[in-house]
Amino acid sequence: MHNNLLLLPIIIPFFTAMVLLFARKNVMYQRTVTMIGLIAAIVSAFYMLNIVYVDGPQTVTFGSWPAPFGITMISDMMSILLVVTTLVLTFFIVWYSFSAIGIEREKFYYYPGIMFILTGINGAFTTGDIFNLFVFFEVFLMSSYLLIVLGGEKQQLQGSIYYLVINIISSALFVITVAFLYSVVGTLSMADIALKVAALEQPAILTVIAVLFLVVFGLKAAIFPLFFWLPKAYKSAPAPILALFGALLTKVGVYAIIRTYTLIFVHDQSFTHEMLMILSILTIIFGCIGALAYFDVTLIIIYNIVIAVGVILFGVSQMNSAGLEGAMYYLVHDMLIKAALFMLGGILIAITGTANLRKMGGLMKRYPLFGWTFLIAAFSLAGIPPLSGFIGKLLIVESGFEANNPWMSIVILLSSLVVLLSVIRIFIYAFWGEEQQTTTSISQATYTQQFTPVLLLVAVTVAYGVGAELVAPYMSAAGEALLNPSIYIDAVMGGE
Amino acid sequence: MEIVMAFVIGFLFMAATYLMLSRSLLRIIIGTGLLSHGAHLLILTMGGLGGEAPPVLADGVEASQFADPLPQALILTAIVISFGVTAFILVLAYRAYQSLETDNTTLMKGSDDDAQ
């Protein structure tokens, strides 16, 4: 009976979006309905989290077809944790949007866009069918096209075209890869694919397909040779949309890599996972170079996305319990903290009227609370204990030592220093020094409206770090399920 | 038959790659269209082209004679999606042409680095 409830976090945003399409000019209506929809979705997701924690993974196979033939939706610990995180941080981003996105965008389907993007992302986290994953990818991509182009400023148009073309190519590659996979294993249900791949003992053709999947999802996740589009496409988007994209979209790609590389392609680890490890380390290194190279607040934080993706995937590539649990910790942490940082960056740009660090300075005098919040978020990003990034990174580094890759772990530790340096540089330039003549300062009331949700989100990340004891059972359950694909397969195939 | 399809698909991908490497936005869009056509044909081919009988149980039809219905369902979904996306990018390209007054992607990047 409860298992149908796992669809609620997908259906509620979808229906909210449809209701929102009426009366688009009534901003109060748009805001209220969005908030009600989000709160309902968050409640249902937390309820589902509890059920999954107590009773194990829940599945629904549509149309009551037997498991490998129907499309299965499955909520295991990892997917429900990501769904909860997605909804919670979207709640804060929407709250921040009220004062940051501007009334014009609010009137032109901004909120329906966000709700449709949630439908797609939660669907992608929940689905257990590889082609259905493609469909949900397209659902959220389509809404992301709307959001990234909304407003139609010149800079935005260039970034949007770039973003669209990249994603169309990667979608075509996705279809091609699924077609190859289908021709080899003759099924689309991920659990069934895992069984078939295990029965075939992963011949070379399946390893090729595994690498193709890495290219497809890597384009979404922005791993090493494929991250070139990220700064260009994201740079021109307004702060709330940037926060949403930066926190969520790359993480769906990371999720898809984790899912395929822990469930399906686990039989030739010396090649596939070794390659994933090398790519993740290169991702970290190139991300670090980018994060230090720019004096633009937005670009610095965007390159930090790349670094985090590398760190998470390194944990996954080790395929031991510390690595997978750490990757889960770090994934949730990174989604929350990236949303917070992009919003803080947005406020910074709104106050000073520029994204260029060299033109900022001395904000500490007028905005002390903002300064300290930024510092906490920065420390959290770098993983200073007891803040939220610490435990995940600790486990990931430990996994590297366990799996006999000490040098890789040391690279990750060094990258933490670079991350710290890159965000502290923002802090030093923006908050210390002489106060600069600011051109377009926002009013105190707008500042308070924008700052409150961000402050609360940073408080949530601090709670996530300090209360790690409380979330630990959930994370270790997720890590264990990733380590033993049989849990996932039994939940899908053994269900009634 | 599959080998002929493989050549057709390969040719479509080749043309798509060539078009997408050009600078004109319209050519790039046609390229992405060809790319998705190639991908759709590939799905159809990868399911195997054998099987004549409709996939409905009937007397005297062996399991091997059924056509595989799944690739057809997949191709339909993929076609609808790529149709929607192509429509969107065409509108976007037209809008970009109106406000940037060029369809050359190199010229579009011109003001990209002003911020630094």
**Residue range A439-463, pLDDT digits in tens:** 556 788 888 899 999 999 999 999 9
Closest Cα of chain B to A442: distance in Å?
Answer: 21
CB pairs under 8 A between A and B: 105
Closest Cα of chain A to B106: distance in Å?
Answer: 10
- State residue A257's pLDDT score: 95
- The CA distance from A195 to A198, in Å, is 5
Question: A158–B100: do the CB atoms touch at under 8 Å?
Answer: yes
Mean local confidence (pLDDT), A134-149: 94
Count Cβ neighbours within 10 Å for each residue of A207-225 and write b for 16 or more, e otherwise.
Answer: bebbbbbbebbbbbbbbbe
Write the residue in B43, B85, B93 that is nearest to A161 by C-beta.
B93
- The CA distance from A142 to A195, in Å, is 32
- State residue B115's pLDDT score: 43
% of chain A at pLDDT higher than 70: 98
- State residue B109's pLDDT score: 65
What is the distance, to the nearest Å, from the Cα of residue A333 to the centroid of all Cα atoms in its chain? 10
Q: How confident is the model at residue B114 (pLDDT cuts 50, 70, 90)?
A: very low
% of chain A at pLDDT higher than 90: 68
Q: How confident is the model at residue A254 (pLDDT cuts 50, 70, 90)?
A: very high
Question: A171–B105: do the CB atoms touch at under 8 Å?
Answer: no
| Integer CA distances (angstroms), A151 to A232, B81, B106, in order | 17, 24, 23
> Where is pLDDT greater, at B65 or A417?
A417
Would you tell me which CATH number, out of the four given (2.150.10.10, 1.10.287.3510, 3.90.1150.10, 3.30.930.10), belongs to the domain B2-51+67-107?
A: 1.10.287.3510
Query: Above 50 in pLDDT, residue A365?
Result: yes
Q: Mutate one of B43, B44, B94, B114 to test the A interface: name it (highest A CB count within 10 A).
A: B43
Closest Cα of chain B to A143: distance in Å?
Answer: 11
> Which H/E stretch holds residue B22?
none
> Which H/E stretch holds residue A180?
helix A154-185
Cβ-based neighbour number of residue A472 at 10 Å: 13
Q: How confident is the model at residue A360 (pLDDT cuts 50, 70, 90)?
A: confident
Measured in degrees and rounded to the nearest 5, phi and psi for residue A8 equal -55, -45
Mean local confidence (pLDDT), A159-167: 91
Q: How confident is the model at residue A496 (pLDDT cuts 50, 70, 90)?
A: very low
Query: Above 90 in pLDDT, residue B69?
Result: no
Q: Mutate one of B26, B45, B112, B114 to test the A interface: name it (highest A CB count within 10 A).
A: B112
pLDDT digits (tens, 9 = 90+) for A71-111: 999 999 999 999 999 999 999 999 999 998 888 888 999 99
Measured in degrees and rounded to the nearest 5, phi and psi for residue A33 equal -60, -40
Question: B96–A178: do the CB atoms touch at under 8 Å?
Answer: no
Using the Cβ of A295 and the Cβ atoms of chain B, whether some distance falls under 8 Å is answered with yes
- State residue A1's pLDDT score: 56
Only one residue has tokens 């989290």, namely: A49
Query: Above 80 in pLDDT, residue B64?
Result: no
At A129, is the secondary structure helix, strand, or coil? strand
ipTM of the complex: 0.92
Only one residue has tokens 């000019």, namely: A25
Query: Residues near A104 by Cβ (< 8 Å), separated by ≥ 6?
Result: A151
Query: Above 50 in pLDDT, residue A420?
Result: yes
Q: Which residue of A has its CA nearest to B85?
A: A142
Query: Above 80 in pLDDT, residue A2?
Result: no
> What pTM did the predictor assign?
0.94
State the DSSP code for B63.
G
pLDDT digits (tens, 9 = 90+) for A281-319: 999 999 999 999 999 999 999 999 999 999 999 999 998
> Where is pLDDT greater, at A4 or B18?
B18
- State residue A440's pLDDT score: 58
β-pairing verdict for A58-61 and A72-75: antiparallel
Our CA angle for A167, A172, A174, nearest 5°, is 90
Cβ-based neighbour number of residue A352 at 10 Å: 22
* pLDDT averaged over every residue in chain A: 91
Question: B85–A138: do the CB atoms touch at under 8 Å?
Answer: yes
Q: Which of A95, A107, A76, A79 is nearest to A35 (CA)?
A: A95
Q: Which of A60, A20, A52 is nearest to A36 (CA)?
A: A20
- The CA distance from A155 to A420, in Å, is 30
Query: Above 70 in pLDDT, residue A495?
Result: no
Question: Is the CB of residue A469 less than 8 Å from the CB of residue A401?
Answer: no
Using the Cβ of A158 and the Cβ atoms of chain B, whether some distance falls under 8 Å is answered with yes
Domain ranges in chain B?
A: 2-51+67-107
Write the residue in A161, A169, A235 that is nearest to B96 by C-beta.
A161
Closest Cα of chain A to B108: distance in Å?
Answer: 7
Q: Is the dihedral of CA A396, A260, B31, A153 positive or negative?
A: negative
Which residues on A lie below 8 Å from B85 (Cβ)?
Answer: 138, 141-142, 145, 164, 168, 171
Q: Is the dihedral of CA B76, A249, A180, A262 positive or negative?
A: negative
Helix and strand tally (H, E) in chain B? Answer: 4, 0
Helix axes A321-352, A297-318, angle to 10 degrees: 170
